[in-house]
């Protein structure tokens, strides 16, 4: 199940325009200056009324959450696979490595369908991502296991995390955000820290 480009064929690379700083409210300009130069953040500024709440939700999930960071990154990488979000995959490939997700695990996440070559817990996290990404719901068996194995807070956090990255991948795919020439998240714990 190799990640595939989710764009129409053709020679030109179409992408929604990035907003110019001069057209953005000052608070959004300041927030963008405080973040790493990640194209996804700049593209999100095209919807200024949603930008700050979006950044706050990102922070709540990636910096303030209770999920083990390696499990979080496994879930995000699997969502990127299931939604063919090359941009999301690229960003979280580096973050996953920062959180001790090995190259072998990353290869399994990208290529197995369903994922069965990881630990039992990691396979289950991939199943959660698969079901929510494809069906927008969980099977009874998956729902039961999720709430048996994790606290209500963590179970709901997993659901929110996976739902959030499904929404983000669709925004990134829909606007056709281009991957940066550098790798802003490389070596970082979070895409929100400089």
Where does the pLDDT of residue 3 fall: very low under 50, low under 70, confident under 90, or very high at 90 and above?
low
What local confidence, expressed as pLDDT, does residue 54 receive? 95
Report pLDDT digits (tens) over 24-70: 999 999 999 999 899 999 999 999 999 999 999 999 999 999 999 99
Where does the pLDDT of residue 9 fall: very low under 50, low under 70, confident under 90, or very high at 90 and above?
very low
User: Can you read off the two tokens belonging to residue 193?
Assistant: 């820290």
Torsion region of 84: left, alpha or beta (phi above 0 gives left; psi -120 to 50 gives alpha): left
Sorted by where each starts, the structural domains of the chain and their CATH numbers stand as: 69-175 (1.20.1290.10)
pTM listed for this prediction: 0.90
Q: Alpha-carbon distance 161 to 3, whole Å? A: 20
Q: Alpha-carbon distance 111 to 91, whole Å? A: 18
């Amino acid at each position: 199940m190799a990640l595939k480009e989710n764009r129409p064929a053709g020679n030109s690379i179409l992408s929604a325009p990035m907003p110019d700083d001069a057209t953005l409210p000052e608070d959004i300009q300041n927030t963008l200056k405080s973040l790493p130069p990640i194209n996804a953040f700049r593209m999100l500024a095209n919807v200024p009324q949603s930008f700050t709440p979006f950044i706050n939700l990102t922070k709540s999930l990636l910096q303030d959450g209770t999920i083990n960071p390696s499990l979080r990154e496994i879930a995000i990488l699997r969502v990127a696979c299931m939604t063919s979000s090359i941009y999301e995959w690229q960003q979280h490939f580096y973050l996953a490595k920062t959180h001790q997700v090995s190259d072998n695990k990353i290869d399994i996440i990208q290529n197995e369908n369903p994922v069965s070559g990881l630990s039992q817990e990691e396979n289950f996290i991939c199943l959660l991502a698969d079901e929510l990404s494809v069906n927008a719901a969980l099977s009874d068996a998956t729902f039961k296991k999720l709430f048996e194995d994790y606290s209500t807070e963590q179970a709901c956090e997993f659901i929110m995390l996976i739902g959030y990255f499904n929404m983000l991948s669709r925004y990134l795919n829909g606007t056709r955000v281009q991957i940066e020439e550098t790798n802003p998240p490389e070596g970082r714990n979070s895409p929100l820290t400089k």
